[in-house]
Amino acid sequence: MKNFIYYIILPFLFILGACENDTDSLPSMPEPETPDSPVEFTLFMYMPWSQNLTPDLQHNLTEMQAALGKEHFPDKRVVSFISTSSTQAQMVEITAGQRKILKNYESPDLTTSQGIASILEDVKTLAPAQHYAMTIGCHGSGWLPVGALNIDRTVSLHSFCIPVSNHPVTRYFGGIDIQWQTDVSALVNAIESARIHLDFLLFDACYMGGVETAYELRHVADITVLSPTEIMGRGIPYGSVGTLLLQDDIDWQQFCNKYYDFFSSYSSPYATLSVIDSQYLEQLADAMRQLNNNSTWNPELTSQLQSFGGYYGENIFFDLGQYADFLSENGYDVSHFTSILHQSVIASVHTEYCYIYLYGIIPIRHYSGLSTSAPSTSQVTVSWESTRWAIDTKKQ
């Protein structure tokens, strides 16, 4: 952090003695360091400790640095908080050709709203702007609360994150171990506490593209960019799409298309991405509640739903649009819900298949842009009814 320190370079007695001399002989005082003037826009790339993803995250920054060398953005800045170990982190500014260290951190608090808010306050001080946006690169597990995956199972959580032969690594929100995981609600509270509103929030992490997550984030970001499936470990191809995030008027479908183009020819050609307009999500919740009031879910249909994967061999993330269609099979008109869902998802892409670490690939036959865990009966999702989405769409 830039320190605003005024140096007193003359001892008190020396000052008294100097009063008898010509004032022109006094040494000049150094000019105090002044804060940076706000720019139009700061993009903040947040990369908390993610253990085995650290090399991929460093590569993401290298790609962004190279991308900035191809296009000039005079009134915009890119800064990143990146954990270099479990106890150390840096705030760096990324420009064409270099990274400038703005602040070093020792044992930063990465999992509480207070800790994240403090980091966001540093962003405001070190890279003040009229507008902010944020990307988050790490592991991810969607709306699931901290500890949901640390239940007593024969397959440990670590087995999903430790590289195995012929199994490419994928991402989620935080690190592998519970002490590095963060609840989405803590992130929301941090952004609100820091008094920042985001033009967009991009989650470069697995399974964050659920309606439960998007709904939780609706008040802190105008746009959310999320994947309903697992994301390959190399993450967002910033070399291809990084500078699009700095455009004045982002073409989100172009962003998605470039994302698709990269992964469709990648060694592991699996990708999904959706761009959500937060202004429609409360209308979507109202429509879902109306649908729930007039329908009852048939558990026998769960096996027919498009699954985007889950954990421990259980499918817990399902396509939201198809779920609504199945709910309406008793005759209730789902067209209102579908219309608002289409308004909410302003851009999206998906490859023919999605990938689940250790469990292989799943064909994508239905893709509305958002997932839901509403029909899941897994022990992992027992807390689903306490999500804000579930509360606001509950049958009355």
Considering the domain delimited by 41-280, tell me its CATH architecture.
3-Layer(aba) Sandwich (3.40)
pLDDT tens digit at each of 396 positions of the chain? 444 333 333 333 232 333 333 333 334 434 444 567 999 999 999 998 766 788 899 999 999 999 999 898 999 999 999 999 889 999 999 998 789 999 999 999 988 999 999 999 999 999 999 999 999 998 777 888 776 666 544 334 433 333 444 545 443 344 445 555 678 999 999 999 999 999 999 999 999 999 999 999 999 999 999 999 999 988 999 999 999 999 999 999 999 999 999 999 999 999 999 999 999 999 999 999 999 999 999 999 999 999 999 877 789 999 999 999 999 887 789 999 999 999 999 999 999 999 988 778 999 999 999 999 999 999 889 999 999 999 999 998
pLDDT of 182: 77
Amino acid sitting at position 295: S
CA distances from 137 to 1, 41, 53, 102, 133 (A): 22, 20, 9, 20, 14
For the whole model, what pTM was predicted? Answer: 0.85
Q: Per-residue b/e over 36-70, b at no fewer than 16 CB within 10 Å?
A: eeebebbbbbbbbbbbbbbebbebbbebbbebbee
pLDDT of 235: 92
Q: Would you list the domain boundaries of the chain?
A: 41-280, 283-345+366-392
C-alpha torsion 62→65→66→69, nearest 10: -170
pLDDT of 86: 85
